Structure 1
Amino acid sequence: MRSSYLMTLFIFIISASYAQSTIQGKVVNKENRAVEFVTLILKQDSVTLFAAYTDSLGNYNFEQVPQGVYRMFISRLDYEKVTLIIHINRDTTINIQLPDNAKQLKEVVVAGKAQLIERKIDRMVFNVENSIGASGGDALDALRITPGVRVQDNQISMAGKGSVAVMIDDRVLQLSGEDLVNFLATLKSDNIKSIEVITNPAAKYDAEGNSGLINIKLKKAKVNSWNGAVLSSYTQTSYAAGNIGGNFNYQKDKLSFMFSVDYKRGARKRTETDELYYPDQSWNTDFVKKININYTTVNAGIDYRVGKKWTTGLLFSGSYSKPVIDEYDAGVISSNDHIDSLLNTVATTARKVNSSSLNWHADIDLAKSKLLLNFDYFKFNNNTNRDFSTTGYSTFLSTKNAGVQGMNNYTAKADMETPIRGIKMLYGAKISFTDTNNDLKYYNTTTGTPVLNPGQSNIFNYKENTTAVYLSGDKQFRKKWQIQAGLRLEHTHTTGNSVTYGKENTNDYTQLFPTLFVSYAPDDIHSWVIDYGRRISRPGYASLNPFKFYSSPYNYTEGNPFLTPRYTDNVELKYGYKNILYTAVYYAHASHGFGEVPFADEVTKVQYFTQLNFYSNNQMGFSESFSFNRLKWWESETKVDVYYSASKFIRTVNLKNTDSWGCYVSSNNSFILNKYLKGAINFWYQAPEYSLLYKYRSRANLDLALRYSLLKNSIQLSFVVQDILKTARNYSTVYTDGIRQVYYDYSDNRLLRISATYKFGNKKINIEKKSFGNDEEKERANN
């Protein structure tokens, strides 16, 4: 039904375009090299009717041009202007060669206030490069101050909605939990241009991500230039941490090259409290963790323009991390206000995580079309050793968990962009092969000699093959209406083999993911958009492993090989007024929802967490965003989100259905104090709410930042203080089988960060930083 509806819509769009023509072509210089950022204007009787700009390949395109005679004006500052008289009675291709300017222009600097927030019809853009609060930090720090984005419990979501997928330069990653933090910690905020919050992505994007996508755009550079930077930062939380790195970019004629390296060493503190109230006893445990950070990342890339219509290149990325977590847990077991026992655990978790990626890509200009090719290989290894010893009044247990995880992923992607009678058509395909191997062993070391326990050890191998194809069309009508419709088909086959348990599980499913986008802008003051999209969220690879990973004799986590994907349908109506006020009303329905569910055994007093498909959810909400930039020295973006969420759980988990109202308020403010000094104040507040089975208390956050620039911005010094009032704490309560469980955690969010950046070379850079085509599979290696 969905596919027939979309096909009917495509036919309607194509039929409506026959009365008008398309003008397209390419602009080159006298060496026949493509020229980007060229302005092309079509006039009739001195009235401007159409305007276009060339892309990185020199291509331009005018759509829906009525038949007639026009003057075309072609210009760029460093070239002589060209004027053409053209007669249009059908689709026409006009290639243009620009003559050199007789006067070579020197560098032109346009002074103006850099925007922090941009509101577009289909997305919100947070310009990280203009943000002071993100200076010297990582991608996670930048996301924390992105309007409408929440980072809590190591999860990224949109306020009033569910979890999202994260993209790097339009390529989807699937990130979750602690592994999300580890990945984003290696991506420096100083290398990020902007963060786009997209609630309804088009069909060309992977369908991953329940509530949309967050697109992290890396900085780019201009031709015939070179530049470098040295960066360093010092961060003080409960412990100190230091970071040093650098990057170098070079572009000359046909060759582009980039290299960056980053090293970080230090520690952070994490405190947690876990309270379990059994009918006859209460178990209260305080966890104190020192997370020692030690990682190095290296990135290198090269691009070469083989000919006028073909650019190809290689990209390598390597990450080498050795985190160590020192943990001390103090437990008190009591009944009737009397202490029955003390339970203390000392643990050390040491990991060696190495990953390497290799990408080959090609951009091919096929006259009227553009073809993008990506082939990727990703290798991941994770060695984990956890030693813990637990002491009670009369008991002592010492154990060792040793795990080895390996993964190989191969991905190929092809994307084509073709204009067809005024319709921008996009279509493509992706295929991915993933093979993971897990060997986890449990040793009892109480006697001092390791004794393998085969019953608590596991060998688990998992394979996943995914194939996807998509088609979408984008058409404008009379400059006021725009319709975009797309359809994506994804087929997935999985095989999970538990060698230890002698069980093999297979899953095979094919799903369609339609998208529809309709916008109406009667003038420059008002704009309306309504959109619909269907999304999917697949379980992480580790979530499918049935192995029980013990953190103490009374606590373990386990995966579930029978997990199936979660599906979400999203509908949103948006209204914009004068680029100042933005209103949205939205609804989302999620089915087959999966996640980690806590259980507690009343007899054995063992608490465990398991992965289950256990809920469906309905969310609806209203959001209002207000942009203020009337003063030269102050820019502000304030957003209020009010929403209602209702979750229904399956009977087997014995959980009560939940529903609640929630409210999220955020305000980002930037100030120009003088020519050299800028400041920022960022704040957010989250009202109490139910998030699925957990009931959360309110929480808030206040950040302050200053940036001082000197030597024509060659040196930048930044001072950032996050969570000044130490109010970004998480308190939650859940009932399972009538047993109340209370959780508290604080991830050392209050910090002081001092950073320094020195830039050298030609500052007008635009070297394109490619990302990998298999980022989604790479990041699921950690989940």
Structure 2
Amino acid sequence: MTMYNKNKLSLSASFNYRDGGEYHDYRDYNSFPNEFWITRQAFKREYKRLNSVLGLQYAATANWTFGFQYIANTNNAKANRITKSSVYQYENSNPFNEILSEVNASQKPKFNSLNLFNEIKLDSLGKKINVNLDYFNYVNFDTRPYEGTSVRKIPFNIQYFNGINNNQQSTNNFSGKVDIELPTTWANWSTGGKISVSKTENYITAFNSGLVTTLNPDLPQINNQYHYDENVQALYVSGNKKINDQFEAQIGLRMEAIQTKSHSGNRNQSIDNKYTKLFPSINLSYSANKNSTYRFSYSKRIARPNFAELNPNLTYVTPFLSVEGNQVLRPYFVDNFEFFYTYKKLETKLYHSLENDVFNQVGLPYLETSNIRLIYKNIFDIRRYGISQTFTFDKLNWWNSINTLNINYSTAKTTDLMATVANGFTSFFTTNNDFNLNKPQTLLFNFSFDYYMFGNYGIDKIKPFTSTSLALQYLLLGKDLKITLKATDVFKTDRFRFTSIVNGVHRSSDYYFDTRMFQLAINYKFGSKKVNVKKRQTGNEDERARTGN
């Protein structure tokens, strides 16, 4: 990060390059009526990522500041996925069929974003207007060739398969956002609005041979196009009022109108959706005395699918296992109620949440063919009731500890899916501890531990797992130089293990996402400590996140 600040002009720039890789291990056990399938996928990816940010800010007058921020991200990733499925009959301990597949994927996503901002101060009391104009373009070319064999033991028979899937995606987003802050002697108000226009185009070419005795080397591909347009208009207003020394209230209301249109060329199918929703929020706080505080909050929010999850592109891992998005995927809505009681260093939280029309990736098994189709669907509603207890220990100047125990009970109801719901308790414990190892506080140590005891979510029963992280930091040269050693998931115990029953097929899964790593970081701050270029948020943060940037 470089910074420059002189007179009215401020400049900032940062560059980050990362050359790395990751390994994921997926194991699935599927019990079909007449067959038992054990499938293991070993996924390796290597990537080269470059991130750069350039910002300029100019104070034209004492009340007007404007500037821009440009972000560019590039990534070149190559992945290899080796999949082996062993198929058993229940009366035999040896597999009668083995399917081996290899997928080699290449992805080259590029992201460019430009933000123009204006900040206008209206008076000396804090009234001001912020105007953000944003544009980003996200392009990704993804190619996934695969091939493999299916070998039956008795009678011996070998079949082959191969295929390819190419997807060129382009997403453009234009947005404008206005935020107005209006503090008054009676209350502090804020209001504003946003318009966002997103257009996504996917050009897909694919070929899948299925099981054949002789491979076709030409890979004759079928073309398809998928387009998705999304327009969002939003208005909001919120107010904060400190009624007296004990009571404070904050209320808000957001209105959002959305129009979407998706079109799949091959299916010749267009889907239009329009809706307008209100998203209220309220936060009430009461301080009974210096040791006790009560707080109640309610909020409603929306969770939208990523642009890739909406793409109906179909990718085969083997002839029996495929992955695809879903163009009819809908956003889901969450109502969250929370009540807090804080006494000194102890905080108790009671909460209740309603998640309606939740989408997730689900494995749809087909009993006749033993195929499994991994697809994103809106599949369940969830009701959750819980309590959490957080205790902060800071009685020693060399040790600070934050500890949380959370227990909740949830019920689920499936929609458009034949599955067994996972009703029951979920519980987890976390502890985060900071230690000062010397008197000048230049040698610091952190220990954190997470223990997920048991859980239920939707249709999945989740098994226990833990994660342990350690960090050691040494501060030098007046604390301008920081050397940090960090290790996460030290014992390689952060594994996602779950079971579910869909269409009468029991599935047990064990997934490891390569969370264990060791990191060395060296950070040095040079130049004047008075130089500080404010980091600004763009007006299209939500849309950017849906592209993975």
TM-score range, shorter chain: over 0.9
Counterpart residue number, 1:377: 135
Q: Is the 8 A contact 2:474 2:482 kept in 1?
A: yes
Which 5+ residue runs of structure 1 have no aligned equivalent?
1-246
Identical pairs, percent = 28
CA deviation profile, 1:157-191 (whole Å, cap 9, x unmatched) = xxxxxxxxxxxxxxxxxxxxxxxxxxxxxxxxxxx
Quick check: 1:405–1:437 contact (8 Å CA) kept in 2?
yes
Does 2:426 correspond to 1:646?
Answer: no
- Offset at residue 726 of structure 1 (A): 1.6
Matched, 1:679 2:445: yes
Q: Judge conservation of contact 1:722–1:751 (CA < 8 Å) in 2.
A: yes
Aligned residue among 242, 252, 255 for 1:489: 255
Whole-Å Cα distance in 2 between the matches of residues 753 and 781 of structure 1? Answer: 26
TM-aligned CA distance change 1:285 to 1:537, over 3 Å: same
Call closer, same or farther: CA 1:642–1:765 in 2, change over 3 Å.
farther
Contact 1:555/1:606 (8 A) holds in 2: yes
Q: Answer whether contact 2:428 2:454 (CA < 8 A) is retained.
A: no
Which of 14, 21, 24 is equivalent to 1:260? Answer: 14
- Of 265, 278, 293, the residue aligned with 2:47 is 293
Q: CA deviation at 1:753?
A: 1.8
- Alpha-carbon distance in 2 for matches of 1:370, 1:682: 41
Query: 1:248 maps to which residue?
Result: 2
1:407 Cα offset (Å): 0.9
Please state how far the C-alpha of 1:346 moved relative to its aligned partner: 1.1
Q: Unpaired runs of 5+ in structure 2?
A: 152-157, 210-214
Which one of 364, 376, 387 corresponds to residue 120 of structure 2? 364
Contact 1:295/1:322 (CA < 8 Å) preserved in 2?
A: yes
**Bigger helix fraction:** 1
Work out the CA distance in 2 between the residues paired with 1:666 and 1:611.
31
Alignment match, 1:54: none
Aligned counterpart for 1:276 among listed residues 1, 26, 30: 30
Aligned AA (1:251): N
Q: Output the amino acid matched with 2:7.
A: D
For the Cα contact (< 8 Å) 2:16–2:51, is it kept in 1?
yes
> Is residue 352 from structure 1 mapped to residue 108 from structure 2 by the alignment?
yes
For residue 542 of structure 1, give the secondary structure of its aligned residue in structure 2: helix
Q: How many angstroms apart in 2 are the aligned matches of 1:487 and 1:716?
A: 43
Measured in 2, the distance between the counterparts of 1:268 and 1:357 equals 27
Aligned partner of 1:451 in structure 2 is 220
8 A contact 2:101–2:317 mirrored in 1: no
Q: For 1:275 and 1:661, how far apart are their aligned partners in 2?
A: 24
Contact persistence 2:232–2:257 (CA under 8 A): yes
- The one of 419, 423, 426 equivalent to 1:662 is 426
For these two proteins, the number of residue pairs brought into alignment is 532
1:80-229 alignment runs, 5 A limit: none
> Displacement, 1:545?
2.6
Alignment match, 1:433: 197
1:583 maps to a residue whose letter is: T
Whole-Å separation in 1 of the counterparts to 2:300 and 2:255: 11
Letter in 2 for 1:616: D
CA apart distance, 1:771: 2.5
Partner of 2:519: 753
Deviations 1:238-259 (A, max 9, x none): xxxxxxxxx1011122111100
Q: CA deviation at 1:324?
A: 1.0
1:608 and 2:364 equivalent?
Answer: no
**In the aligned structure 1, how far is the partner of 2:326 from the partner of 2:534?**
41
Amino acid at match of 1:252: K
1:556 maps to 2:322:
yes
Distance in 1 (alpha carbons) for counterparts of 2:208 and 2:341: 62
C-alpha deviation, 1:544, in angstroms: 2.5
Compute the displacement of 1:349 (Å): 0.9
1:61-80 paired onto structure 2 within 5 Å: none
2: CA distance, partners of 1:347 / 1:381: 22
- 1:717 equivalent in alignment to 2:483: yes
The answer to whether structure 1 residue 341 and structure 2 residue 97 are counterparts is: yes
In the alignment, what sits opposite 1:584?
349
Q: What is the rounded CA distance, in whole Å, between the counterparts of 1:603 and 1:299 in structure 2?
A: 53
- Deviation, structure 1 residue 520: 0.7
The correspondence of residues 508-587 of structure 1 with structure 2, limited to 5 A, is 508-578=274-344, 580-587=345-352
1:523 to partner: Cα distance: 2.6
How far residue 521 of structure 1 moved from its aligned partner, in angstroms, is: 1.1
Other structure's SS at 2:526 match: strand
SS in structure 1 opposite 2:544? helix
Pair 1:776 & 2:516 matched? no
Moved more, 525-534 or 330-339: 330-339
1:444 and 1:606 map into 2 onto residues whose CA distance is: 15
Cα drift, residue 351 of structure 1 = 0.1
Q: Does 1:594 pair with 2:359?
A: yes
Quick one: which amino acid aligns to residue 392 of structure 1?
A: S
1:407 aligned onto 2:176: no
The equivalent of 1:165 in structure 2 is none
Taking the aligned partners of 2:353 and 2:326, their CA distance within structure 1 comes to 26
CA distance in 2, matches of 1:592, 1:762: 52
2-structure distance, mates of 1:282, 1:302 = 61
Residue in structure 1 matching 2:385, options 604, 617, 620: 620
Identify the structure with the greater strand proportion. Answer: 2
1:782 deviates by 4.8
Q: Which amino acid aligns with 1:560?
A: N
Whether the 8 Å CA contact 1:535–1:569 is kept in 2: the answer is yes
Q: Counterpart in 1 of 2:148?
A: 390
CA contact (8 A) 2:381 2:458 kept: no
Q: What is the rounded CA distance, in whole Å, between the counterparts of 1:387 and 1:545 in structure 2?
A: 19
8 Å CA contact 1:648–1:658 kept in 2: the answer is no
* TM-score (structure 1 length as normaliser): 0.66
Deviations 1:304-347 (A, max 9, x none): 00111100010000000011111211221121223211111111
Q: Describe the superposition over 1:364-403 as per-residue Cα deviations: whole angstroms up to 9, x where unpaired.
A: 0112521010000000101000111121221111211111
Structure-1 separation of matches of 2:184 and 2:513: 53
Partners of 1:379 and 1:407 within 8 A in 2: yes
How far apart are the structure 2 equivalents of 1:547 and 1:478?
Answer: 57
Distance, in Å, in 1 between the alignment partners of 2:329 and 2:533 is 42
Q: 2:233 aligned to 467, 485, 488, which one?
A: 467
Displacement after TM superposition at 1:444 (Å): 4.8
Q: Which residue of 2 aligns with 1:103?
A: none
User: Aligned-pair RMSD on alpha carbons?
Assistant: 1.5
